[in-house]
Amino acid sequence: MRIPEHPILEFKKGRKISFLFNGRKFFGFEGDTISSALLANGIYVFSRSLRYKNPRGFFCGIGKCSSCLMNVNGIPNVRTCITPLEEGMDIKMQEGFADIPNIRFEGFKRKRISTDILIIGAGPAGLCAALEGTEQNAKILLADENPKLGGQLIKQTHKFFGSREEKAGTRGIEIAEQLTEDVKRKKNIEIFSQSTVFGYYEDGNEHVFGLVKRYNGYKEEIYEVRCKSAIFACGAMENMLVFPGNDLPGVYGAGGVQTLMNVHGVKPGKRVLMVGSGNVGLIVSYQLLQAGVEVAAIIEALPKIGGYHVHAAKVRRSGVPILTSHTIIKAEGKDRVEKAKIAKLDENWNVIPGSEKDIKCDTICLAVGLTPSIRLLAQTGADVRFIAEAGGYVALHNKYMETSIKGIYVAGDASGIEEASTAMLEGRIAGLSAAHFVKNREVEDKKIKPYLDGLDRLRSGDFGIRGRKAKEKILSIMEKEYGRV
Amino acid sequence: MEEYKRTGVLSIKDLKVPSEEYLRKGVALTECVEHIPCNPCVDACPFNAISMESLTDPPNVDYDKCTGCGNCVAVCPGLAIFIVKIKDESALVTLPYEFLPIPKAGEKVVALDREGKSKGIAEVVRVRKVGKTAVITVKTDKKNAMNVRNIRVER
């Protein structure tokens, strides 16, 4: 189902594109990914599980889970959520393990490319890092997996909080456009979109990364990227929640649903149960209403709402109930969600017998937190630690955002889950520091001070505690064990 | 724990309600009670009527300076500012609205409270678009001045 009209967004329908799915002809539009075109056509079973052949569907929508892998033009394991739809594509559901054809790995010549700084991820942190780095005349290669730059900003239709310096009052989508435009105007920044940085290798003083660039959706070129410094601004991935039926099509990540609605103009379903009342759960619920989707309820296991009251108030006055001290017991349905069973929790997190209730819905959105994406970063040997307040394993870093490995930096959610506004400031610090590092210069503290002050401001107040604690822990371990501040 | 943390709904006791005199003039009510890092309302006010000690403080409105112009209604990222003006036996409530369809002046809409419950029919008096946010003034009963915070357009 496509969104016919939207109060904030204009969906310019591109050229009509025909494609085959399991041998049947369907239509999508230019700008669709394979996943969004399938969902718009009412196709929600994307694969079958390996052992029990259970139906599986869309989940994260940003290429981070493996829920949407399909065979496209004979190539297996294509991430259909980030692969642009093209005329005549032959898309097939994968049954069981994929057969990987040898031809996939033959005849590739790798190209070599050298740069001062490789930035992995072009979201708020990566874009700001690139802009700051190029100000210092560093040569930059900015790589991102998606066709469009901006990371998760491209689906943030709400106005940002913060102060003027962090573009408060501006919608995330507009911030993405502005930053992307600025980056594209800089001669020193080479942009590799639809590109995955897949491996780390060492060679003397240089860091070497493997990069695969996709074009025409599924064709690829392999690069060997040599750089003096790298910034990991790879963001985060949505958390799963354990309950029976959590793999049914219709159980989607809240962020994935936000991408589907606000980037592709496709509704996830007709009636949604939102699980989690943090800012993501509250904001996505509001955006579902804006897209013309009914929200049955928002449930929250904690006795209080997790996100800002102002976000909760917006959905409440639109008639959506928020049920605190409630959890999801199971999702039921034949090959997609048909209902959810929820129940009330007592103060010890036990289900209160007899409180179970069925909620009729075709979609269950999970907004239960994020985990920093650090798998590639860990390959560099950077010291990673489990910091609960940061959302999981993150690289130790100092105030310059430098990890335990000289010249390797982190920024944004990949360095600890926070907000886009903090990501932009961390990106600026990382970009500035990395550019000084490649020029063998020391960063003057007065240069990063305005950004550090901005971070302090954003992390003050009741809702900044978690981020503040996470960063304090990370910085203090870094100082204690590596003597670097 | 405050009740609104559990329900998402503010009650009168959570808010600073201006005196009748100020309400007759028409002033901004900031339904923003938590310590969140945000201050565009302070910058948006042409009369310096909104102040904040630090970025995370809730806004404080000086009702002597506030003219009820509504600039802050359109910029507030939390859509948490309303203008309330009492006129005779009616209340004019100005609220931010980001849904379709956008009603027209003169149109009758359903007035909703903070829980989305109907408070009867209200008449749209004024519609202003600021970017993609519509700033809508509706006329409702005086007794609903502190309750009506949303509308539903039924066509």
pLDDT, tens digit, 9 for 90 and up, residues A201-255? 988 879 999 999 998 756 789 999 999 999 999 999 999 999 999 999 999 999 9
Check if the beta carbon of residue A382 is closer than 8 Å to that of residue A370.
no
**What are the two backbone dihedrals, phi and then psi, of residue B50, each rounded to the nearest 5 degrees?**
-105, 130
pLDDT of residue A103: 65
Which of chain A's residues have a Cβ under 8 Å away from the Cβ of B56? 457, 460-462, 464
- Pairwise CA distance, residues A209 & A116, whole Å: 13
Cross-chain Cβ contact A305/B5 below 8 Å: yes
> Domains in chain A, ordered, with CATH?
16-101 (3.10.20.440), 110-236+371-482 (3.50.50.60), 251-370 (3.50.50.60)
Q: Which domain holds residue B70?
A: 3-152
Q: Is the pTM of this model over 0.90?
A: yes
Q: Residue B115 carries which DSSP code?
A: T
Is some CB atom of chain A closer than 8 A to the CB atom of B78? Answer: yes
Give contacts of B 121-150 with A, CB under 8 A: 132, 149-150
- Pairwise CA distance, residues A382 & A363, whole Å: 39
Name A6's Cβ contacts closer than 8 Å, sequence gap at least 6: A265, A290, A291, B100
Three-state SS across A83-152?
A: CECCCCCEEECECCCCCCCHHHHCCCCEEEEEEEEEEECCCHHHHHHHHHHHHCCCCEEEECCCCCCCHH
User: Computed from CA positions of residues A449, A454, A460, A462, in that sequence, does the dihedral angle turn out positive or negative?
Assistant: negative
Say how far residue A377 (Cα) sits from the centre of its chain: 16
Q: Residue with structure tokens 């790798």?
A: A110
Query: Closest-CA residue in chain A for B151?
Result: A318
Cβ burial of A10 (10 Å; 0-12, 13-18, 19+) is exposed
Which of chain B's residues have a Cβ under 8 Å away from the Cβ of A312? 8
Question: How does strand B50-51 pair with strand B60-61?
Answer: antiparallel
- How many domains is chain B built from? 1
- Pairwise CA distance, residues A159 & A205, whole Å: 43
Question: How does strand A55-56 pair with strand A69-72?
Answer: unpaired
Calculate what percentage of chain A has a pLDDT beyond 90: 88
Query: Closest-CA residue in chain B for A302?
Result: B6
Which of chain A's residues have a Cβ under 8 Å away from the Cβ of B82? none
Which candidate, A411, A410, A409, A407, places its Cα nearest to that of A440? A407
Name A393's Cβ contacts closer than 8 Å, sequence gap at least 6: A372, A374, A378, A384, A385, A386, A387
pLDDT of residue B27: 98
Question: Strand pairing partners for B29?
Answer: B82
Q: Residue B102 carries which DSSP code?
A: P
Query: Which site among A316, A345, A455 would you substitute to test the B interface, given the most B Cβ atoms closer than 10 Å to its Cβ?
Result: A316
- Pairwise CA distance, residues A284 & A272, whole Å: 11
- Pairwise CA distance, residues A29 & A296, whole Å: 30
Query: Closest-CA residue in chain A for B112?
Result: A317
pLDDT of residue A104: 62
Confidence of residue A100 (pLDDT cuts 50, 70, 90): confident
pLDDT, tens digit, 9 for 90 and up, residues A105-138? 667 788 999 999 999 999 999 999 999 999 999 9
- ipTM of the complex, rounded to two decimals: 0.98
- Pairwise CA distance, residues A346 & A9, whole Å: 42
Q: Residue with structure tokens 């990501």?
A: A423
pLDDT, tens digit, 9 for 90 and up, residues A471-483? 999 999 999 999 9
pLDDT of residue A217: 58
Calculate what percentage of chain A has a pLDDT beyond 70: 99
* Residue A238 amino acid letter: E
- The residue that leads in pLDDT, A462 or A323, is A323
Cross-chain Cβ contact A460/B56 below 8 Å: yes
Q: Residue A478 carries which DSSP code?
A: H
Q: Average pLDDT in the A92-102 region?
A: 81
Is some CB atom of chain A closer than 8 A to the CB atom of B1? Answer: yes
Check if the beta carbon of residue A370 is closer than 8 Å to that of residue A419.
no
How many Å lie between the alpha carbon of A432 and the closest alpha carbon of chain B? 25
Q: Average pLDDT in the A7-27 region?
A: 95
10-residue averages of pLDDT along chain B (155 residues): 96 93 97 95 96 94 97 96 97 98 98 98 97 96 97 95
pLDDT of residue A34: 97
Tokens of A212: 């695969």
Check if the beta carbon of residue B58 is closer than 8 Å to that of residue B33.
yes
Residue A465 has pLDDT above 80, yes or no: yes
Q: Tell me the average pLDDT of chain B.
A: 96
Cross-chain Cβ contact A324/B6 below 8 Å: yes
Query: Closest-CA residue in chain A for B80?
Result: A310
Is some CB atom of chain A closer than 8 A to the CB atom of B43? Answer: yes
* Residue A438 amino acid letter: V
Which candidate, A136, A17, A137, A139, places its Cα nearest to that of A84? A17
Q: Residue A292 carries which DSSP code?
A: T
- Pairwise CA distance, residues A121 & A134, whole Å: 16
pLDDT of residue A105: 62
Confidence of residue A340 (pLDDT cuts 50, 70, 90): very high
Q: Which residues of A touch B (CB under 8 A)?
A: 5-8, 158-164, 168-169, 171, 289-290, 303-305, 308-320, 322, 324, 421, 457-464
Residue A405 has pLDDT above 90, yes or no: yes
pLDDT of residue A102: 67
Which candidate, A440, A373, A421, places its Cα nearest to that of A120? A373
Q: Tell me the average pLDDT of chain A.
A: 95
Which of chain B's residues have a Cβ under 8 Å away from the Cβ of A293? none
Which candidate, B153, B145, B42, places its Cα nearest to that of B94? B145
* CA-atom Rg of chain A in angstroms: 22
Question: Strand pairing partners for B105?
Answer: none
Q: Average pLDDT in the A432-454 region?
A: 95
pLDDT of residue A12: 87
Question: Which among A171, A316, A460 has CB closest to B54?
Answer: A460
Residue A379 has pLDDT above 80, yes or no: yes
Q: Average pLDDT in the A274-280 region?
A: 98
Cross-chain Cβ contact B36/A164 below 8 Å: no
Which of chain A's residues have a Cβ under 8 Å away from the Cβ of B8? 305, 309, 312-313, 315-316, 322
Is some CB atom of chain A closer than 8 A to the CB atom of B11? Answer: no
